[in-house]
């Protein structure tokens, strides 16, 4: 295990992964540097969430190697994997809060499961985390009483409750109003810096992500199309990267899903 600040916390080498017949990753290499916010961007369906699940060891790659802090995630036993996961936090797109628990109990959940801390100390830690995301006052609410933005902030408080090294954010801005989006952006950046975390943000909200990321990977078609700091990515020559950054509806990534010629379809050649 390496704690060298110059090495990547997560290293992905030669990643290949298929979902059914569809090839999602075709030999991808990635490095997630320690202490930085790394954005993984790309069009919908390119496998950004899949990458987080592969890093977390929930899914297994067809080929390649994923290391977390020097440990091969997919060579680990289930017990070892769970030990690695205690050092990771993940914020799911829908929050994934446990619906039968209050906000307080959701944030306390990992602490109660993995520590023998007295309840009084757990209370203080939970209030500390909830205060960090501005929801200390919502501790007694249930998930169904929260707005989408609040639910994600609670999920963020839960993700950092065990003081992990790595926090993975799956589409944190999707469906958020501008205020919630601004709050989440500020939280991701400030928590990363204040707690010395390493963050991976998966998103296709280009401007928001580029404004908080230290490093960006643009992925499409199973390959890394562009990588570097936000300015380098903005200047990238790849037409696919430029189409994605500018939000152009047609280009290398076609507007139309592959189909037979339109005229042929309309003029009645039976399907």
Which residues of this chain interact with other proteins, rule CB under 8 A? 53, 56, 58, 82-83, 85-86, 88-90, 92-94, 96-99, 109-110, 113-114, 158, 162
Quote the least distance from Cβ 226 to other proteins, whole Å.
28
Quote the least distance from Cβ 247 to other proteins, whole Å.
28
Round to whole Å and give the CA distance between 23 and 178: 35
User: Considering beta carbons, is residue 18 or 93 the nearer one to other proteins?
Assistant: 93
Containing 199, the helix (H) or strand (E) segment is: strand 198-203
HEC readout, 81-140: HHHHHCCEEEECCCCCCCCCCCHHHHHHHHHHHHCCCCHHHHHHHHHHHHHHCCCHHHCC
Round to whole Å and give the CA distance between 40 and 10: 13
b/e map 236-258, b = 16+ CB within 10 Å: beeebbbbbbeeeeeeebeeeee
Quote the least distance from Cβ 183 to other proteins, whole Å.
21
Q: Give the residue carrying structure tokens 């297994």.
A: 60
Quote the least distance from Cβ 252 to other proteins, whole Å.
32
User: Considering beta carbons, is residue 40 or 90 the nearer one to other proteins?
Assistant: 90
User: Considering beta carbons, is residue 37 or 154 the nearer one to other proteins?
Assistant: 154
Round to whole Å and give the CA distance between 168 and 246: 25
The pairs formed by 148-151 with CB atoms below 8 angstroms and a separation of 24 or more are 148/95, 148/175, 148/176, 148/180, 149/176, 149/177, 149/179, 149/180, 149/181, 149/183, 149/184, 151/94, 151/95, 151/97
User: Considering beta carbons, is residue 106 or 180 the nearer one to other proteins?
Assistant: 106
- Per DSSP, the three-state class of 22 is strand
User: Considering beta carbons, is residue 49 or 238 the nearer one to other proteins?
Assistant: 49
Quote the least distance from Cβ 255 to other proteins, whole Å.
27
User: Considering beta carbons, is residue 162 or 201 the nearer one to other proteins?
Assistant: 162
User: Considering beta carbons, is residue 174 or 243 the nearer one to other proteins?
Assistant: 174
Quote the least distance from Cβ 27 to other proteins, whole Å.
26
Quote the least distance from Cβ 16 to other proteins, whole Å.
22
């Amino acid at each position: 295990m390496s704690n060298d600040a110059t090495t990547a916390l997560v290293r992905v080498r030669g990643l290949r992964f298929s979902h059914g017949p569809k090839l999602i990753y075709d030999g991808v290499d990635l490095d997630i540097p320690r202490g930085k916010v790394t954005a993984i961007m790309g069009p919908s369906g390119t496998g950004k969430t899949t990458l987080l699940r592969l890093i977390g060891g929930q899914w297994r790659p067809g080929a390649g190697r994923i290391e977390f802090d020097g440990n091969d995630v997919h060579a680990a036993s289930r017990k070892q994997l769970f030990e690695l996961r205690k050092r990771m936090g993940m914020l799911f797109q829908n929050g994934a809060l446990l619906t039968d628990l209050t906000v307080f109990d959701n944030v306390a959940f990992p602490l109660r499961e993995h520590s023998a801390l007295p309840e009084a100390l757990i209370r203080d830690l939970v209030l500390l985390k909830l205060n960090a995301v501005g929801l200390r006052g919502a501790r007694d609410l249930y998930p169904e009483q929260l707005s989408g933005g609040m639910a994600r902030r609670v999920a963020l408080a839960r993700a950092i409750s065990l003081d992990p090294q790595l926090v993975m954010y799956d589409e944190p801005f999707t469906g958020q109003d501008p205020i919630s989006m601004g709050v989440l952006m500020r939280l991701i950046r400030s928590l990363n810096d204040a707690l010395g975390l390493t963050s991976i943000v998966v998103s296709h909200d280009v401007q928001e992500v580029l404004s908080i990321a230290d490093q960006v990977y643009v992925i499409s078609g199973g390959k890394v199309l562009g990588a570097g700091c936000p300015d380098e990515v903005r200047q990238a020559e790849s037409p696919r990267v430029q189409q994605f950054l500018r939000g152009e509806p047609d280009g290398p990534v076609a507007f139309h899903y592959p189909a037979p010629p339109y005229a042929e379809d309309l003029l009645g050649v039976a399907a």
